[in-house]
Amino acid sequence: MPLSATSGRSSDKRGNAGSKRSFVFRCIGCGSIVSNAAQDYCCQHCGKLLEIADDSWKTADAAALKSLWRERRTTNATLDLSGVWRFRELLPLPETTADVITLREGNTPLYDLPFCSRITGVDRLYAKHQGMNPTGSFKDTGMTVAATFAHQAKCRWVACASTGNTSASMAAYAARGGLRSLVLVPEGKISWSKLSQALDYGALACQLRTDFDGCLRLLQDLVKEAPIYQLNSINPFRLEGQKTLAFELLEQLDWQPPDHIIVPGGNLGNSSAVGKGLLEMLALGLIPRLPKLSVIQAEGANALVRTLREGQGKQLISVQAETRATAIRIGNPVSWEKAVKVIQATGGTCEQVSEIGIAQAKAEIGAEGIGCEPASAVTLAGFKKLVHQKFVKKDESVVLILTGNLLKDPDFTMEFHRGDLFRDDKASAPLHHLRHPPVVLDATIKAVIQTLQQAEKSDRKPNA
């Protein structure tokens, strides 16, 4: 028997004193409202995706929310320690907080990027590092909410198709909540460090002989036949958690919106979630205007870019995806319509970047002492293109969303520094000065001093 998800009614003791709050599923196409959703989270009338809506989110008192959320940062209550549940007035709530599965997700840093500012001439450039979440990626902010509702539904198994990070996150939250997890990943196409996380958290990991899109198709069919709770970002509870990134970011900026927010695009759940958060904040009066939300993809996985350029955003143009940024190696993004809506609503854009551009940007973010995984680095590579095109002006403020931790893909990093990532030496020449290959030496003081002296000499070379 397949499972279904049910909307909830819950009382919120702190935000809206004494009042009952409820949420519903709303179709993004025809606007139909339902209280029950099947595990494909599609509208039964028009087949488009469902989102979660709650009328009380439009009427809350913005000033009261800002001070309540700030006050919660000083308490040690379990829900307040989570950078997601701290914003629970704007989230679907389970019937009882005992169902909440949390690992203190969110609460991620906002860094300035002085080195990248110098390269691009944009002074007010920041990175919100979602790779500092408990399992090392932004997925945790959505997983805490979706896993909580899986727990409430008393399901035994949760499952996802993944390029790696979703599976690591899902497996962690499932383990924490006493659920079994089933992971479907494309064989040989995801980083070992992500797969190893899922194994450690006790997932049943299946490496399928297909790509991510094939894994997701299979999962969509599987949930129709078996009692499995689906935790991909097609599940709108995921996006509810992920939208808190926007709340936390704006709080960190004292509610002054930046001019631009730039996110990587794969299955396009995250861009949709951040956009939803921004639009809800504007409707509530938490912010006076919208930042432009732009999405960057790898050239080899550019379905959204093509959908907007060739299909005017009206129908999806799928691609056969290929990129070393394996997290976004996705050719048939399920949330494309939600992403198109928020890009258009905020006046943002969509751009694609080359493999060399991604590698260079990743090394530049490393040079800031921060680091990220390749899929996150598309934001810096895309931002540079947008500055060049004057879509981003030099006096504007920009936030890059770094989605995954540097440690997520050590193979990529090692190949980059050893000079093995690209065959074409000429094309990759702009990368040379960013490489720091390890050296093997005899264990003598003389050998180390000589190496230090050589490093000093090459540091002094002009343009080094």
Write out the residues near ligand F0G by the rule CB under 6 A.
Answer: 137, 162-166, 233, 264-271, 327-328, 373, 375-376, 403-404
**Number of CB atoms found within 10 A of residue 115's CB:** 16
Q: How far is the CB of 161 from ligand F0G (least distance, A)?
A: 7
Q: Which residue has the tokens 């914003």?
A: 87
Provide the β-strand partners of residue 208.
Answer: 186
Contact 244, 148 (CB under 8 A): no
Q: How far is the CB of 269 from ligand F0G (least distance, A)?
A: 4
Q: How far is the CB of 22 from ligand F0G (least distance, A)?
A: 27
Which one, 60 or 377, has the nearer CB to ligand F0G? 377
Which one, 139 or 292, has the nearer CB to ligand F0G? 139
Q: How far is the CB of 47 from ligand F0G (least distance, A)?
A: 21
First CA to last CA across the chain, in angstroms?
63
Which one, 163 or 220, has the nearer CB to ligand F0G? 163
Which one, 122 or 239, has the nearer CB to ligand F0G? 239
Which one, 53 or 168, has the nearer CB to ligand F0G? 168
289 vs 110, 260, 275, 398, CA distance in Å?
20, 11, 13, 15
Which one, 218 or 284, has the nearer CB to ligand F0G? 218
Q: How far is the CB of 404 from ligand F0G (least distance, A)?
A: 3
Indicate the SS3 state at residue 80: helix
Contact 187, 209 (CB under 8 A): yes
Which one, 39 or 376, has the nearer CB to ligand F0G? 376
Contact 349, 391 (CB under 8 A): yes
- Dist CA 296 CA 438 (whole Å): 32
Which one, 89 or 105, has the nearer CB to ligand F0G? 105
341 vs 65, 158, 240, 336, 350, CA distance in Å?
27, 29, 16, 9, 12
Q: How far is the CB of 167 from ligand F0G (least distance, A)?
A: 6
Q: Which residues contact 1 (CB under 8 A, 6 or more apart)?
A: 227
Parallel/antiparallel/unpaired status of strands 260-264 and 398-402: parallel
- Dist CA 385 CA 389 (whole Å): 6
Q: How far is the CB of 52 from ligand F0G (least distance, A)?
A: 16
The full length of the chain comes to 464
Which one, 220 or 270, has the nearer CB to ligand F0G? 270
Which one, 230 or 270, has the nearer CB to ligand F0G? 270
Contact 25, 43 (CB under 8 A): no
Q: How far is the CB of 462 from ligand F0G (least distance, A)?
A: 36
The secondary structure element, H or E, covering residue 309 is helix 303-309
275 vs 4, 82, 236, 319, 333, CA distance in Å?
26, 21, 14, 24, 16
The secondary structure element, H or E, covering residue 4 is strand 4-6
Q: How far is the CB of 418 from ligand F0G (least distance, A)?
A: 23
Contact 223, 39 (CB under 8 A): yes
Contact 240, 92 (CB under 8 A): yes
Q: How far is the CB of 198 from ligand F0G (least distance, A)?
A: 10
Which one, 72 or 341, has the nearer CB to ligand F0G? 341
Provide the β-strand partners of residue 34.
Answer: 25
Packing angle of the helix pair 355-366, 374-388 (nearest 10 deg): 100
Q: How far is the CB of 96 from ligand F0G (least distance, A)?
A: 29
